[in-house]
Structure 1
Amino acid sequence: MTEPIHVAAPHREARPDRDVVISLSGAELAYGNRVLWRGLDLDLRRGEFVVVLGPNGSGKTSLLRVLLGQQQLTSGTLLVDGRPPRRGGDLIGYIPQQQAIAPQTPLRGRDLVRFGVDGHRWGFSSGGRRARQRVEELLAAVGATAFADVPLALLSGGEQQRLRVAQALATDPAILLCDEPLLSLDLHHQKMVADLVDERRRSHGTAVVLVTHEINPFLDLVDRVLYLAQGRFLIGTPEEVMTSQTLSDLYGSQVEVLRVHGRFVVVGVPGTHDHGGEPSA
């Protein structure tokens, strides 16, 4: 069965439609006979922080591709700021998964940020002095000025991620999409990047959709969790979704969720180590 499992949402005060920046209705994504998710309804509002969890192959990154206009839904509808999604533009900022950088790469930190400003990916075309000023503002905003002229290959993973956050913010986006932004980072740099993303959404009302294997670094920041697994999904607050009963229903087998020192530990997720806490049994 691929029917969704819905978690009752808490009562929310009605807001005008203009607050909704992403609206998925009856959304389905499938590859041939393999359904990643079906019947997905999700309205994301300005300033809201949604974390997407689930095992490998559940469609987490594919969801971001759909939101970016790079992939079509199999069925259902998607509106981004009231319009069908499209590639490029300045509405969405995107932080990709961290990738290894070849030692001989000549690019410096400021060059990476400049790509976002000049339109290499999501930016706009602008004059030289204006672009340089914007780059300096972005570097300062993420605390990267001190290493802006260092070659990328010589920077730590945390420093590189600061620069990717700056690049994603180059066009002052209303929506920030993040694909495993904490991958391979130590705890210190995880908190640093998580705080940067959260500060942006609080100060500018930017909506955040963040794909991750681990919810714990975001527990104090996230509004809702979208959990994808086996063609089904759960949507709700962390306290609603991250329970033994709800995850057992989602996977169709026994899953134990423990709360230890304020952290979720998930045990028994079938065939995967992806979840909200420590490695599964």
Structure 2
Amino acid sequence: MTPAPATEHREPVLSLRGVTMRLGERTLWQDVDLDLARGELVAVLGANGSGKSTLLRAVLGLQPLTGGTATVLGAPVRRGSRRIGLVPQQRLADDGLPLRGRDLVGLGVDGHRWGLPLPRRGRRARVDALLEAVGATRYAEAPVSTLSGGEQQRLRIAQALAGDPDLLLCDEPLLSLDLTHQAMVARLVDEARRRLDLGVLFVTHDINPILGIVDRVLYIAGERFRIGTPAEVLRSEVLSELYGAEVDVLHHRGRVLVAGVPDHRHHDDDAGLAPVAADDHRGGAR
């Protein structure tokens, strides 16, 4: 497949060429080509176990590709790149963890800093600016474990933006959130990509909360894939061909319902990406 050209003829933020991933004898996806432009949001869809989160791990340099190449701004992907920010799945913090909202965001500020740290005043100002950008100033001093799932996701978005990334990876960030908080997270990601001119790769089970902000869809199913606008990909005939089975796509009041998708559940792609530290993204460092 021919990837869509990057907008404004600029170098793509992320470029995938013939990327293939096999785990043992199982092929998750193969020969995927994609150019992700600055300011573009591509949703990654597919059944459980299709390899959506594994694709993000490969872009993070945490999972070696079986074939093909992946580059970020022309450089091969590598573990710990500050050019990449990660918003992970929503996971409630441990009740015993003595971490405030500003501390969680501060982990992202410090994540790639070698040698002398930022002066205390400069670091605090940076954390305050990030908190304000995601509307989290009011619980900066609150223990993270006392915050709701949606409030914690605000902080994780701020943390992901702390390293001034060029590429933002979102790994099921809406999971376990109610509709109101799903809409909030989608809005914050959209605002960040427009304000900072980010490329965004957004893994999700349900496209409806982000349907209004998606530019293109990468749909993975049974080793194959389709790339295009939501209107081009989310069609009964396209998904039926991908799955080799009858799949119905229904459009109603601006929402999309996909029915009859075979479930390829497999342990390798169900866990998602945990937030990770300094050189491997734990704590959301890029």
TM-score, length-scaled by structure 1: 0.89
Distance in 2, matches of 1:97 and 1:24, equals: 24
Q: 1:20 aligns with which of 12, 19, 43?
A: 12
- TM-superposition CA deviations, 1:17-65 (whole Å, max 9, x none): x431111111101012110000100011111100001111111111101
Aligned to 1:145: 137
Structure 2: which amino acid aligns with 1:47?
Answer: G
Distance in 2, matches of 1:157 and 1:214, equals: 18
- The secondary structure found in structure 1 opposite 2:153 is helix
- Report the Cα offset of residue 272 of structure 1: 6.3
- The secondary structure found in structure 2 opposite 1:190 is helix
- Report the Cα offset of residue 15 of structure 1: 3.8
1:195 equivalenced with 2:191 (yes/no) = no
1:178 equivalenced with 2:170 (yes/no) = yes
- Report the Cα offset of residue 104 of structure 1: 1.7
Distance in 1, matches of 2:224 and 2:3, equals: 17
Percent identity between matched residues is 57
Aligned residue-pair number? 263
Question: Runs (4+) of structure 1 moved beyond 3 Å?
Answer: 12-15, 122-125
- TM-superposition CA deviations, 1:101-137 (whole Å, max 9, x none): 2212111111100000011xx5674222211110000
Structure 2: which amino acid aligns with 1:69?
Answer: G
Q: 1:159 aligns with which of 151, 154, 166?
A: 151
Aligned to 2:24: 32
Structure 1: which amino acid aligns with 2:145?
Answer: A
Distance in 1, matches of 2:182 and 2:54, equals: 23
Aligned to 1:277: none
- The secondary structure found in structure 1 opposite 2:212 is coil
Would you say the 8 A contact 1:48–1:206 is kept in 2? yes
Residues 9-158 of structure 1 aligned to structure 2 (within 5 Å): 15-16=8-9, 18-119=10-111, 125-158=117-150
Distance in 1, matches of 2:264 and 2:67, equals: 28
Distance in 1, matches of 2:134 and 2:148, equals: 15
1:225 equivalenced with 2:217 (yes/no) = yes
- Report the Cα offset of residue 270 of structure 1: 1.5
- The secondary structure found in structure 2 opposite 1:38 is strand
- Report the Cα offset of residue 88 of structure 1: 1.3
Distance in 2, matches of 1:13 and 1:34, equals: 32
Aligned to 2:284: none
Aligned to 1:237: 229
Q: Which runs of 5+ in 1 are unaligned?
A: 1-5, 274-281
Q: 1:251 aligns with which of 227, 243, 252?
A: 243
Structure 1: which amino acid aligns with 2:244?
Answer: G
Aligned to 2:160: 168
